[in-house]
Amino acid sequence: MRVTRAGDAVTRALDEAGAITLDSALPQEVAERVLPGMCRIALEVAWLPPARHRLREAGLPHLAVEREIGKARKITDLAPMALADPGEVTVAGARMSPGDALAAIVRHHGEDARELIRLCNEATHRIHTPVGDRRDLVRRTERLAKAVANR
């Protein structure tokens, strides 16, 4: 048996998505069904640490932070927690409509971030949504995940 370093959750999610891009035997229609969800998971995981940090920075106790994180079901739930100013965070967390959350994401990360999130959501929920270049999708996801982590 050999022990290997697993890396952080974002890296693992991106590595798994990257493996899909390298599998030339995988039919495009299967990749288009699976890959966007994998990229979306990587982005959701990327927003967790900054959301926790921002909620703690706002003075919420640990249990309240975990409750708020536990209520988040999508990127537009997590991103507001990570992007809100500490004064905007309350015991109820940072609440924004999905549209306002996407606008905040654009302000902090650019229009490509909104388009990437839209593509990942749409392609995850609708069959036959073309994702284009598989490698480009993973590269864009990695860029945004790193930007979120470095914020």
Phi, psi (deg, nearest 5) at residue 3: -95, 130
In this prediction, residues 11-21 reach a mean pLDDT of: 92
Nearest to 31 by CA among 121, 132, 145, 122: 132
Domain residue spans of the chain: 9-149
Q: How confident is the model at residue 5 (pLDDT cuts 50, 70, 90)?
A: low
Nearest to 113 by CA among 123, 98, 127, 103: 103
Residue 55 has pLDDT above 70, yes or no: yes
In this prediction, residues 29-46 reach a mean pLDDT of: 90
Decide if 44 contacts 74 (C-beta within 8 A).
yes
Between CA 24 and CA 9 the distance in angstroms is 25
pLDDT, the chain, mean: 86
Angle at CA 75, nearest 5°, toward 74 and 81? 110
In this prediction, residues 74-101 reach a mean pLDDT of: 74
- Predicted model pTM: 0.86
State the pLDDT at residue 87. Answer: 61
Model confidence pLDDT, tens digit, residues 91-124: 454 567 888 889 989 999 999 999 999 999 887 7
